[in-house]
Amino acid sequence: MPACPLCDTPGGTILWQDDFCRVVLADEPDYPGFLRVILVAHVKEMSDLAPADRERLLQAVLASEAALREVVAPDKINLASLGNLVPHLHWHVIPRFADDPHFPNPVWGARQRDTPRTAPPDLAARLAAALRQRLGPARETE
Amino acid sequence: MPACPLCDTPGGTILWQDDFCRVVLADEPDYPGFLRVILVAHVKEMSDLAPADRERLLQAVLASEAALREVVAPDKINLASLGNLVPHLHWHVIPRFADDPHFPNPVWGARQRDTPRTAPPDLAARLAAALRQRLGPARETE
């Protein structure tokens, strides 16, 4: 099996984790609050998971959506599980704003404008608290 | 409320439907088998749905993924709920192939190549059968 960046590295700043998955704040300067929900196990497709595990992963995705709506109040949430480059299950949970750099395109589409957006300094802490409120206490980072 | 294309039109060839959602074959010539799962109700975000309804919609999304894996055996499945242009819950369920026009980019990203891909003539019927097998009998189209 080739090296997998999501097996080998956190993939962002860990905001919440348990033994099953982690929620990380992605390093995406255009999109403060861009979250990724990453399965711990190296599995390719949702339909490769047992039903209970699909539900558990989607619960973390929807908790991430709800945390973003509470903390950054975006105009829209975008959810996606692609994995063409990294076939290890991970979900993008992206807060979108009508004036963001790609709106209304997907963030992978044609750029529409430059819109500097500054993350509030306590963004990670506020998202982590909103996640704990929905998902329970996080396992300590090693 | 402005006119909504997913309230007013099927959005594709209906392969399966009940009173809650429909699965349509999208008119995307580059991507035979591109499915969309469209909620009947005009609702914007997954977290606006009651938990049982979220689960029900995701069950249709994952049944669509499984049907595509059975019928077209793609190299990867892409799942996405964006809704920036049409804020009415719908999921893209996209069969991806390593030689398709955008791979490994998202289908909304930069085109990589032209790859004519012909849909088998019975694609819609085979997908509809695979969906019925997973979701039960479909309601008759009006």
List, in order of start, the domains of chain A with CATH numbers. Answer: 5-135 (3.30.428.10)
Asked which of A57-66, A103-112, B65-74, B115-124 is least confident by mean pLDDT, the reply is B115-124
Give the A-side interface with B, CB within 8 Å. 44-47, 54-55, 58, 62, 65-66, 69, 76-85, 87, 96, 103-106, 108-109
pLDDT at B141 (0 to 100): 60
pLDDT at B119 (0 to 100): 87
pLDDT at A1 (0 to 100): 55
Q: Mean pLDDT, to the nearest integer, of B37-64?
A: 98
Residue indicated by tokens 């973390």: A60
pLDDT at B2 (0 to 100): 66
Sequence length of chain B is 142
C-beta neighbour count of A46 within 10 angstroms: 22
pLDDT top residue among A119 and A2: A119
Q: Counting one residue from A and one from B, how many pairs have CB atoms under 8 Å apart?
A: 89
Residue of A nearest to B69 (CA): A47
Q: Which of B62, B69, B108 sits opposite A109 (nearest CB)?
A: B108
pLDDT at A140 (0 to 100): 73
pLDDT at A117 (0 to 100): 83
Nearest-angstrom CA–CA distance, B75 and B81: 20
- Torsions phi, psi for A134 (to 5 deg): -95, -30
Nearest-angstrom CA–CA distance, A39 and B28: 31
Residue pLDDT, tens place only, B92-141 = 999 999 999 999 999 999 999 998 888 888 999 999 999 999 999 988 76
Q: pLDDT above 90 covers what percent of chain A?
A: 89
Question: 3-state DSSP helix/strand/coil percent for chain B, to nearest 5?
Answer: 30, 20, 50
Nearest-angstrom CA–CA distance, A17 and A77: 21
Provide the Cα torsion A65, A67, A69, A73; round to 10°.
-140
pLDDT at B114 (0 to 100): 94
DSSP letters for B15-74: EEE-SSEEEEE---TTSTT-EEEEESS----GGGS-HHHHHHHHHHHHHHHHHHHHHH--
Q: Which of A96, A135, A80 is nearest to B105 (CA)?
A: A80
In the predicted structure, residue A142 carries a pLDDT above the cut 70 = no
pLDDT top residue among B2 and B31: B31
What's the pLDDT band for A118 if we cut at 50, 70, 90?
A: confident
Q: Mean pLDDT, to the nearest integer, of A29-34?
A: 95
Residue pLDDT, tens place only, B25-48 = 999 999 999 999 999 999 999 999
Q: Which of B47, B54, B82 sits opposite A106 (nearest CB)?
A: B82
A9-14, long-range: CB < 8 A, 24+ apart: A11/A36, A11/A38, A11/A90, A12/A36, A13/A124, A14/A141
DSSP B118: P
Q: Does the beta-carbon distance from B82 to A80 stay under 8 Å? A: yes
What lies within 8 Å, CB to CB, of B88 at 6+ separation is B4, B6, B7, B38, B39, B42, B43, B44
DSSP B76: E
pLDDT at A46 (0 to 100): 98
